Amino acid sequence: MRRKSIRLLALFTICFCLLAQTLPTQHQVAEAADVFGATLTNPGFELESTEGAVPGWTVDSATAAYGTTVVSDVYARTGSHSLLFHDRTAGASPIGSYRVLSEPLAAGAGDTVSFGIYIYKAAAADQSHGVQPVIHFYNAAGTQIGLNAFTNYGKDAVPVGTWFQATVSMKAPAGTASFKVGLYSGFPSLTKVYMDDASVTVVPAETPLPTSVQNPSFEADLVGGAIPGWSLGALTTGTLERSDAAALTGTYSLYFKDSSTTAWTRAMSDKVAVTAGETIVVSANAYVLSQTHNIVLQVYYYGANNAQVGANETLFSSNSLGTRKWSAMRVLSKVPAGAVSARVGLSSGEPSLTEAYFDDVAITVQPPEVPLDRTYQAPISLGDMVKVNLGQAGAIQTNAAGENEAYFVTNGSPGTFFAVDGETGELKFQEVIPGTIATWAMTIGPDKNVYFSGTETGNLYRYLPLEKRVENLGYNQTDNWVWELTTIGDKMYGGTFNTTSYGKVFEYDFTTGAFRNYGTVENGQQYVRGIAVDDQYIYAALGATMRLYKIDRVTGEKTEIDVPGYSGKAGIMADVFVLNGKLFVSVSTVNMVVIDIASGEVEGTFQHSAMISEPSPDDPNAIYYKYLTKFYKYDIAAKQQTEIVLPYELPDTARVKDYAWIEMRSGEKAGQTVLALITQYGEYILIDPKDKWMSFVELEIGAQPVGIQSLKTGFDGRIYMGGYQRGMSIYNPFTNNIDVNISSFAQPEGIGFMNGKVYYGTYVGAIMYDYDPTKEIALNQNPRPVFDIEHQDRPFVITSGDDKLFVGTVPDYGFLGGALAVYDEATNVWKQFDHEELVANQSIIGLAYKDGLLYGSTTVWGGLGKDPSEQEAKIFVWDVENERKIDEFTLDDLEIDEAPRMIGSIAFGPDGLLWGVVDGTIFAMDASTKEIVKSKQIGPSLYNSSKWLPYELEWGPDGMLYTTLSRKLIAIDPETLRYKELYGGFVNLMTLGVDGSIYFAPEAGSKLSRIAVPETDATLASIAIGGRPLAGFSPGVRNYKTSMLPMADIAAVPTQPGATVYVEDLRPKEWKAIVHVTGTDGKSKQTYTIEVDKPGRDDPGKPSQPGNPNR
């Protein structure tokens, strides 16, 4: 016989859902019991009866006269016995029913109770009517609550001659303390069945989830050493402790430490009830001690079955959070369909190393929004826009097979590694390197393999020239951003950048593949920009305060080396080299200081283009380098610099990436040793300093698309763009062509326009360029540099008014305080006004001009490597004529979640109000009274992206407002402030075309996308005069001067069918015509002005400055 088992399980299980009906009963009161059982007693009826009583079971006293129960061994499903249930009376109510019940079992209100009992009917005549498994519920006093649950099984439902399970299930009603289960035969039923293997399952009622984060400030006492409401996330490791070492509010916070580069650490809250469709803000506060990568604030959503149905997260860099201060983190999230609960996650990912405190975690439900009722077309990608041949890492060598090769990693999204022939430039290998954008660090190992690392992931890569493959050697155990690599013997050393845990030095062992982290070189110094090494020491050049250290390779002891005249000044020491017992230290990108290692004395200085050669094979005291377009030799022993006059000028590229002495295998210099150099633009030159022979070699390195760094629509309707790290282009939306691409152009941070010229504010050094698009491109002539804004680095905002150009800037590395540059076209004079005259210690990221006054807005952040000193961004007012600030104020009346740290862009709208953006908040101000007329917080203040790049504000032809607030693409009705998100991803840059189309760069990438808004298109497709096309016509150019048939008919065709055209002919008096175009929406308007020469002044039909937008 098989062993029987029956348990009462408080488990999540599948419960039977059965028909529940009301059943009249005379059994209203259960027997009192002080303690209720947890499991059925004698479910298989195998226990011996005592004085006729069946253990665990009783006959309802109200029905006992109408039947009998007896333990039987005639039939048994399992074991040897069953219970014979026999209803012998066929009476009418209240006579004739029969019921057997279990002892009471424990249950609570809302618990789901399920009962199953196997019954055996030997003959069809043994059941005249229905038989029912039943559940009765009782309160603590033993009084039955309501009517019992049952399922009726008629005589045809119960088979003959086989065991059949009858079941019933019901949720316990309010007030329940216990229940009984059993079998019932009613009126006028006659029933004879055998009962066996009873089973009961109780699924506890779910406790309603809280609607707020539990223990949000970590003040609750520990329970068994655990933090109530919080736990370590599944599959993660790390330290979570309640701590009183730091707290934003109260006494305690959560101490969080991720010490692993191969695993995540995640603190997870308990579940919180949420409602699908609602918008919530998840917030937490962080006090960072150190972080190598992003800290991630997450929210996970779960359905009723506990399966995850969605998630959102926001990443916070060290630049966003700072160190040793409390900073807010927020995630704006829409609860997905099917979600009933959520958990908050505080995460540090692989390979991040993080130590921080967290406090005051919350989920806040946002008020429901009435969305903007407007339909937009889906975005269309127009492709890559800016392509450059730029790389910040290059190396040259003779490989293990004796072949001369050059290596280069281009900037891109992602970048690409190239290996080319070092004599012919022929491509030998290329591979895209995932996760890279810019790569600065590259060196040749003692194994003749090439090692390099980028600025995004901290991964070290190795290229094996003989196998022609790249392999990932893993994370360097220090930081994401690697500046420099150098080797000695079986070791390699690297220097890193980190804004919170500061710049570090690491070692890589070629033999074991192990990394060693030497730690932060000096607290507060974010850059280890240069690395050199000798037998005993690593030499590390730091910034953003210039310092030089030596680090004992064995003990790790760090000692500062004084560089007279430079150490301690703001700025960055760059490359450092060890040659012949001397330290060559770049105290800027061009100035080199030579220091004797033994004495510490400065022996010489010279200027160079960011790199020097190894000593000549013919003279160990001779090193070579370029500066600007010239070539020089430095004699280490004589401490002298000599120009080597070459037959051709060298390119004026600012950075040489590597020099190497190679023996030529072919050509006129076969068998001879020459010096090879490679620049940041992939320019490759071979030089023999002895006879001044030189050869320019074109490397087969394809131009790569780079991220779009700046984006503006010009006066001619074309789209002007700048590339990240380098490059500019002009896209023509009317021909779908890229009209101009200058890959060598400096990185444009801002683009502005005035009187037919384009102005670019470039990084590095805040150099201003002007460009005349009607003239041919000429290097350093068009575009040409016109002004150097001193001590500044990034001109992000450019505007104009009354023939004056205004430029706002962010300062150089290690400095606070931007500047205002003003160009007066009438006098051709540039002037600079520094932050002390504007807003002290703040950078300028917003400018708007009106009626002789320039309104500016600021960010508290300055140059990299310097933490803000101010707490709140401001708006200032500048009197242009008198060249002085007349007002400065904060946005005290703005309804927002925290005081603004960054305000901008700002712009005057068609309504005359001064509009502005503070991260996720839009506002409009009466500039004369400084009153906030309207505002709306659309998203939380995050400050987790660029601290300098302003949020865009532009009005469409129909008056609709478009913005990149919260780094999303959003349309806003300026009257109601209702809004609509047009693209769900990350958007830094946006501009509007003259036809109302929306152009933007999705995910800060290299591609440009367009959302057409055809109803606002009031452009013309063509203009004809006397049946002849207007010379130089383009839909984006709206002013023309022509001598074509001055009195002939003018015909204009709109781009959009249904748009209306009206020609206002003023030629008889004013010798011009104005073409008025109205879009299909009836609101959007454009005008085209055509000036014609009087007859006889010019040859008929010959255009005068056709399409000249200066008119």
DSSP result, 469-489: EEEEEEE-SS-SEEEEEEEET
Q: What is the pLDDT of residue 43?
A: 97
Residue 215 contacts residue 365 (beta carbons within 8 Å): no
Residue 1058 contacts residue 1039 (beta carbons within 8 Å): no
Residue 388 lies in a domain: no
Residue 375 lies in a domain: no
Tokens describing residue 794? 């990034």
Residue 632 lies in a domain: yes
Shared domain for 630 and 721, answered yes or no, is no
Give burial (CB, 10 Å; 0-12/13-18/19+) of 1109.
buried
Shared domain for 195 and 282, answered yes or no, is no
Smallest CA-to-CA distance from 833 within 806, 813, 857 is with 806
Domains held by the chain: number: 5
Q: What is the pLDDT of residue 14?
A: 26
Residue 689 contacts residue 634 (beta carbons within 8 Å): no
Is residue 668 over pLDDT 90? yes
Range of the domain at 190: 57-203
Confidence of residue 1095 (pLDDT cuts 50, 70, 90): low
Residue 45 contacts residue 39 (beta carbons within 8 Å): no
Q: Where are the beta strands (DSSP E) in 335-480?
A: 341-348, 354-365, 380-384, 387-388, 393-398, 404-410, 415-421, 427-433, 439-444, 450-454, 459-464, 469-475
Shared domain for 658 and 727, answered yes or no, is no
Contacts of 867 (CB under 8 A, 6+ apart): 322
CATH code of the domain containing 182: 2.60.120.260
Q: Who has greater pLDDT, 412 or 777?
A: 777
How far is CA 445 from its chain centroid?
35
Residue 173 lies in a domain: yes
Confidence of residue 589 (pLDDT cuts 50, 70, 90): confident
Of 365, 380, 405, the residue that ends a domain is: 365
Is residue 21 over pLDDT 50? no
Which amino acid belongs to residue 111? D
Residue 481 lies in a domain: no
Q: Residue holding tokens 């005993």?
A: 536
Q: CA 564, 565, 568, 571 torsion: positive or negative? A: negative
Confidence of residue 1096 (pLDDT cuts 50, 70, 90): low
Q: Residue holding tokens 């065991």?
A: 163
CA distances from 861 to 279, 518, 798, 841 (A): 30, 30, 19, 8
Shared domain for 679 and 758, answered yes or no, is no
Shared domain for 816 and 888, answered yes or no, is yes
Q: What is the pLDDT of residue 947?
A: 94
Is residue 1104 over pLDDT 80? no
Residue 1036 pairs with which residues in a beta bridge?
none
Shared domain for 747 and 840, answered yes or no, is yes
Is residue 1020 over pLDDT 90? yes
Residue 274 lies in a domain: yes
User: Residue 248 and residue 358: Cα distance in Å, rounded?
Assistant: 9
Is residue 532 over pLDDT 90? yes
Strand, helix or coil for residue 1067:
helix
Residue 212 lies in a domain: no
Q: Who has greater pLDDT, 94 or 120?
A: 120
Tokens describing residue 957? 């032809």
Shared domain for 107 and 241, answered yes or no, is no
Q: What are phi and psi of 47, to 5 degrees?
A: -75, 145
Shared domain for 73 and 198, answered yes or no, is yes
Contacts of 350 (CB under 8 A, 6+ apart): 260, 261, 262, 263, 264
Q: What is the pLDDT of residue 1094?
A: 74
Mean pLDDT, residues 508-532 taken together: 95
CATH code of the domain containing 926: 2.130.10.10
Residue range 685-721, pLDDT digits in tens:
999 999 999 999 989 998 889 899 999 999 999 999 9
Of 203, 219, 244, the residue that ends a domain is: 203
Q: What is the pLDDT of residue 37?
A: 67
Of 1015, 1036, 1061, the residue that ends a domain is: 1015
Q: What is the pLDDT of residue 35?
A: 54
CATH code of the domain containing 1059: 2.60.40
Residue range 974-1004, pLDDT digits in tens:
999 999 999 989 999 999 999 999 999 999 9
Q: What is the pLDDT of residue 570?
A: 85
Give the chain's end-to-end CA distance (angstroms, integer).
105
Is residue 955 over pLDDT 90? yes
Q: What is the pLDDT of residue 903?
A: 98
**Bond prior to 351 in cis (omega within 30° of 0):** yes
User: Residue 371 and residue 355: Cα distance in Å, rounded?
Assistant: 41
Rounded to 5°, angle at Cα 992 from 986 and 997: 95
Is residue 211 over pLDDT 50? yes
Residue range 29-83, pLDDT digits in tens:
232 334 576 789 999 999 998 888 999 999 999 999 999 999 999 999 999 999 9
pLDDT above 70 as % of the chain: 95
Is residue 7 over pLDDT 50? no
Residue 961 lies in a domain: yes
Residue-averaged pLDDT of the chain: 92
Is residue 6 over pLDDT 50? no
Shared domain for 618 and 745, answered yes or no, is no
Confidence of residue 970 (pLDDT cuts 50, 70, 90): very high
Confidence of residue 205 (pLDDT cuts 50, 70, 90): confident
Shared domain for 927 and 1040, answered yes or no, is no
Shared domain for 766 and 655, answered yes or no, is no
Shared domain for 835 and 974, answered yes or no, is yes
Residue 286 contacts residue 295 (beta carbons within 8 Å): yes
